[in-house]
Amino acid sequence: MTATKAQQALALLDRMDPARRSAALRFMEFLLLDPVSSAAAAAPPDDELVTEEDRRRLRNGQVWFEGRGGKGIPIEEVLAEFGLRVEDFPLNK
């Protein structure tokens, strides 16, 4: 941004009442988010009700996880189910 544009932005902020200035600053911060974070910030709230089935599945998952000593399934095992290996996904290409 050129100095002129920055000065113009500051001048506009100075002219706003404090409540609007606060909203403008929050919007500017929103614009600086990465695309994934801005999409998450703009997403509507999850208003779907939690069902008894959801609660049961959560409890079952917690029991399963505790039964494995607090450890999940190693990624190697998950990939092997699909005939894949960790080496098939190099970090640097």
Q: For position 41, what pLDDT does the model report?
A: 82
pLDDT in tens, 56-82: 999 999 999 999 999 999 999 999 999
- Helix axes of 18-31 and 35-42: crossing angle, nearest 10 degrees: 130
Entry pTM: 0.42
Question: Does residue 11 sit within a domain?
Answer: yes
Share of residues in the chain with pLDDT > 70 (%): 97
Tokens representing 51 are 């069902």
Domain co-membership, 58 together with 84: yes
The whole domain housing 20 covers 3-42
Which two structure tokens, joined as six digits, stand for 52? 């008894």
Q: Is 93 contained in some domain?
A: no
Number of domains in the chain: 2
| Whether 56 and 75 share a structural domain | yes
